[in-house]
A and B are shown apart, each in its own frame.
Chain A
């Protein structure tokens, strides 16, 4: 009987939680828990992060030095590419300018036309008229007006499916250009959100957001947009910000796949 009582209590907790949570009524409880545990967990995070780095550094110092040299060289190239992309992104607005962007960019680009869009409102995808035959590969970045709009998810011989960054299931590593804070860019019904920004980073509205090479999925430095507003609260474990992109996603016609 005692065990059944315990099970009934657990089920009651679950039901009450499931009812309260969608209305945000658990938020005060979470706030208290975060405030109480915040200093401990942040210290632990820093400790584990630092100790992790320390052991990694000890075990692979030589490899890191070589990688650092390579990364510095890559970084310089990417900075140059980024500067070109930014300049072109501001200059070009129409198809003619898109072509001009292609000619002046240092990135190798494949022009492509959108031939279909996803019928579902839950997943924002577009189909392009370029495929593996044209050199398209999975995870390549797709830009419009110099700004990142998505990533190649599926490739057939002559077409490719692009998951737009506005999609709910899109998650892209991004970097804030001035503060150098990193985060994950999510799409969704409420717009673009840059999440998981470390608490020690000062996020400023208007700051440029660019792609990050974390995870080695995208080249670093492709402009994405700008920070619109900070949307996280003080009690959150990390910061989050709303991001605006100058690209009109609903009227995309011609885009470029970054080789």
Chain B
């Protein structure tokens, strides 16, 4: 199971590096690793989320020209924040609420990186956040439905 997990993360990592930059628009490149990481956190898949955090984050770190830590550290902070919010407020949120989480997380992460490195204009931030929210919402919706079907509530 673990090998499969690693293999899938590597595949997605390669897609993120090799294909996603060519599917960009308005200098916006959606981050698949980030989206899948949040999807797993929202679904309460702690173990899988941690794998995505470490391995996915490391792939991005190694291919990124940015200083080390600008992926892993914010991802870890986002992981902790979302896990904390989920414990207090809700577990397995509906897709629309999940999209809000994707939007907020994307905005938060990219704003921090942008402020640190002055990489992009503020104009691209909401576009990126909306793109990742839509894409994330879609991925979350698919996995959420599967998850609900797999684990029906027992009374």
- Is B76's CB under 8 angstroms from A10's CB? yes
Q: How far is the CA of A42 from the CA of B76 in the complex (A)?
A: 30
Q: How far is the CA of A236 from the CA of B63 in the complex (A)?
A: 10
Q: How far is the CA of A44 from the CA of B46 in the complex (A)?
A: 31
Stretch at the interface among B1-9, B53-61, B92-100, B137-145: B53-61
Q: How far is the CB of B82 from chain A (nearest CB, A)?
A: 14
The 9 closest A-B pairs by CB, nearest first: A44-B18, A21-B68, A17-B68, A41-B18, A48-B22, A18-B69, A48-B19, A14-B72, A33-B62
A66 interface contact, C-beta 8 A: no
Q: How far is the CA of A155 from the CA of B66 in the complex (A)?
A: 32
Residue of A nearest to B76 (CB): A10
Q: How far is the CA of A43 from the CA of B46 in the complex (A)?
A: 34
Residue among A7, A13, A41 making CB contact with B17, cutoff 8 Å = A41
| A52 with B14, Cβ < 8 A, contacts A3-B46, A17-B61 known | no
Q: How far is the CB of B93 from chain A (nearest CB, A)?
A: 21
Enumerate A1-39 residues with CB–CB distance to B below 8 Å. 3, 6-7, 9-11, 13-14, 17-18, 20-22, 26, 29-30, 33-34, 37
- Is B18's CB under 8 angstroms from A21's CB? no
Query: Can you list 5 pairs linking A and B with CB atoms under 8 Å apart?
Result: A10-B72, A11-B76, A17-B61, A43-B18, A45-B19
Kindly list chain A residues whose C-beta atoms are within 8 Å of the C-beta of B61.
17
Kindly list chain A residues whose C-beta atoms are within 8 Å of the C-beta of B69.
14, 17-18, 21
- Is A6's CB under 8 angstroms from B72's CB? no
Kindly list chain A residues whose C-beta atoms are within 8 Å of the C-beta of B67.
18, 21-22
Interface size on B, residues (CB 8 A): 23
Q: How far is the CB of B125 from chain A (nearest CB, A)?
A: 17
A237 interface contact, C-beta 8 A: yes
Q: Which secondary structure characterizes the binding site on chain A? A: helix
- In the complex, the number of residue pairs spanning A and B with C-beta atoms less than 8 Å apart equals 65
A94 interface contact, C-beta 8 A: no
Q: How far is the CB of B29 from chain A (nearest CB, A)?
A: 12
Residue of B nearest to A21 (CB): B68
A169 interface contact, C-beta 8 A: yes
Q: How far is the CA of A175 from the CA of B29 in the complex (A)?
A: 24
A62 interface contact, C-beta 8 A: no
Interface core residue of B18, B23, B53, B118 (most chain A CB under 10 Å): B18
- Is B18's CB under 8 angstroms from A29's CB? no
Q: How far is the CA of A236 from the CA of B146 in the complex (A)?
A: 41
- Is B19's CB under 8 angstroms from A13's CB? no
Kindly list chain B residues whose C-beta atoms are within 8 Å of the C-beta of A169.
118
Interface core residue of B17, B46, B68 (most chain A CB under 10 Å): B68
Residue of B nearest to A32 (CB): B62
Q: How far is the CA of A41 from the CA of B68 in the complex (A)?
A: 21
Enumerate A63-80 residues with CB–CB distance to B below 8 Å. none
Residue of B nearest to A22 (CB): B67
Q: How far is the CA of A208 from the CA of B35 in the complex (A)?
A: 43
A49 interface contact, C-beta 8 A: yes
